[in-house]
């Protein structure tokens, strides 16, 4: 029998970073939006973390997952090749959820309307996008100069991220946030789209946690 997900934690799981409640400037038009406070993973979920989830939950590995799991030298690379359902299953098991596009964007750009997580300069070698020429994922903390105001890595590079609550029924697509090694650097306000059942080699995810209601 597969292991049951743990009960939702009453305090933020270890290692997460806080994004305080308040106003931030959302989208290309910098609309003022108020969000409750939340906590977010500072990096995308790694291969090692996803392997632990598979072992504990008994869930079938994603298509293309190597027998025995990824090589040890890729343990700290972001997990990719996961569908939206794979990402949601991990989040539920961990007592978390996927971020909304607004939550991801605030964690990425802060409250001051900056274009990129590190400011308004495109900044060569600041992140792993197509311009860097790496053409593959890199360890999740490989670009510390590209951190966001809240200390998050890879918010605009390495992998695109699945989000929640952003499904377009007419197109049959879900919103993705960030940039990846296969895309050119995009502003934090930009979004991409993908069919939820597709598993891409440049799409991963991270999770958020909100304090339970009193």
- Within a domain: residue 3? no
Q: What is the pLDDT of residues 45-85, one digit of tens each?
A: 999 999 999 999 999 998 888 888 899 999 999 999 999 99
The end-to-end CA distance of the chain, in Å, is 33
Q: Is the pLDDT of residue 3 over 50?
A: no
- Within a domain: residue 117? yes
The CA-atom distances, in angstroms, between 41 and each of 28, 81, 130, 132, 165 are 24, 19, 24, 24, 18
What is the extent of the structural domain holding 94? 17-63+73-209
The CATH number that applies at residue 90 is 3.90.1580.10
Q: Is the pLDDT of residue 6 over 80?
A: no
- Cβ atoms of 181 and 129 closer than 8 Å: yes
- Within a domain: residue 12? no
Q: How many Å is the Cα radius of gyration of the chain?
A: 16
Q: Is the pLDDT of residue 214 over 90?
A: no
Q: Which of 193, 192, 187, 162 is nearest to 29 (CA)?
A: 187
In the β-sheet with 160-168, what is the strand arrangement from edge to edge?
191-194, 173-177, 160-168, 203-204
- Within a domain: residue 151? yes
How many structural domains does the chain have? 1
In angstroms, the CA 95 to CA 208 distance is 9
- Within a domain: residue 189? yes
pLDDT of residue 30: 94
**H or E stretch covering 101:** helix 101-109
pLDDT band at 10 (very low <50, low <70, confident <90, very high): confident
State how far Cα 22 lies from the chain centre.
Answer: 21
Mean pLDDT of 27-52: 96
- Within a domain: residue 4? no
Q: Which of 188, 131, 127, 190 is nearest to 158 (CA)?
A: 127
- How many other C-beta atoms can be found within 10 angstroms of the C-beta atom of residue 208? 21
SS (H, E, C) 14-41: CCCEEECCEEEEECCCCEEEEECCEEEC
pLDDT band at 7 (very low <50, low <70, confident <90, very high): low
- Within a domain: residue 10? no
Q: Is the pLDDT of residue 183 over 90?
A: yes
Q: Is the pLDDT of residue 2 over 70?
A: no
- How many other C-beta atoms can be found within 10 angstroms of the C-beta atom of residue 43? 22
- Within a domain: residue 35? yes
């Amino acid at each position: 029998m597969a292991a049951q997900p743990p009960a939702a934690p009453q305090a933020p799981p270890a290692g997460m970073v806080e994004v305080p409640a308040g106003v931030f400037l959302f989208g290309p038009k910098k609309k003022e939006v108020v969000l409750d406070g939340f906590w977010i993973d500072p990096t995308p979920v790694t291969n090692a973390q996803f392997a632990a989830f598979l072992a504990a939950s008994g869930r079938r590995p994603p298509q293309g997952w190597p027998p025995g799991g990824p090589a040890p030298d890729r343990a700290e690379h972001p997990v990719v090749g996961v569908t939206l359902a794979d990402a949601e299953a991990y989040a539920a098991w961990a007592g978390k959820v996927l971020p909304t596009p607004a939550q991801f964007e605030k964690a990425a750009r802060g409250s001051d309307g900056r274009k990129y997580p590190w400011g308004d300069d495109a900044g060569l070698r600041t992140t792993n996008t197509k311009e860097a020429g790496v053409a593959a994922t890199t360890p999740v903390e490989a670009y510390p100069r590209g951190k966001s105001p809240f200390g998050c890595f890879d918010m605009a590079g390495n992998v695109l991220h699945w989000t929640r609550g952003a499904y377009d029924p007419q197109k049959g697509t879900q919103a993705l946030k960030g940039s990846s090694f296969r895309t050119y650097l995009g502003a934090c306000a930009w979004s991409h789209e993908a069919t939820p059942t597709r598993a891409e080699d440049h799409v991963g995810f991270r999770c958020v946690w909100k304090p339970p209601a009193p």
